[in-house]
Amino acid sequence: MFKLVSYALPFILNAPSKKSANHFARLLAAYFTMCLAVLMILTAVIILIATTYNAVVAFAAVGGALLASASLFVYIINSPNRKRKNLSASTSASTDPIGKFLPEAIKSHPTIQTLLSQIGENPITAAAAAVTIGALISKEFFED
């Protein structure tokens, strides 16, 4: 049984997600367009400052602004995350066939909310993992 599970593991881990390749291509095109727009705006700002002052001051001003914004982004990214209530997990627990039988005390626990939201995001992977765990448990208990 363990041999079969080890063969199925790559298929379980590479289960399809809800987002398609077209969505990824559109997202990549949007990011590329945004980078190009930022590059054009920065070039215009450098030219504007260079005509008023000189090129050294223009590059120093734009470089300083970019350094300040990058430092702000790093600070925001590394700041500790605030605890947020996951409303989608609680609503999915009430509509889920198994989640509706859970007591309210368990539904409000952050770990259970995270688990229910992960199951809602990847139902194929969750089902495959549940079948695999069930097969291993039945093999251990019933010695088939």
Report the pLDDT value the prediction gives residue 105, as an integer from 0 to 100.
Answer: 75
pLDDT tens digit string along 44-102? 999 999 999 998 999 999 999 889 988 888 888 887 765 444 445 455 555 666 667 77
The predicted model gives 41-45 an average pLDDT of 92
Angle between helix 21-52 and helix 55-78 axes, rounded to 10 deg: 140
Q: HSE on the CB side for 75, CA within 13 Å?
A: 6
Query: Residue 15: pLDDT band by 50, 70, 90 thresholds?
Result: low
Q: What's the pTM value of the predicted model, to 2 decimals?
A: 0.42
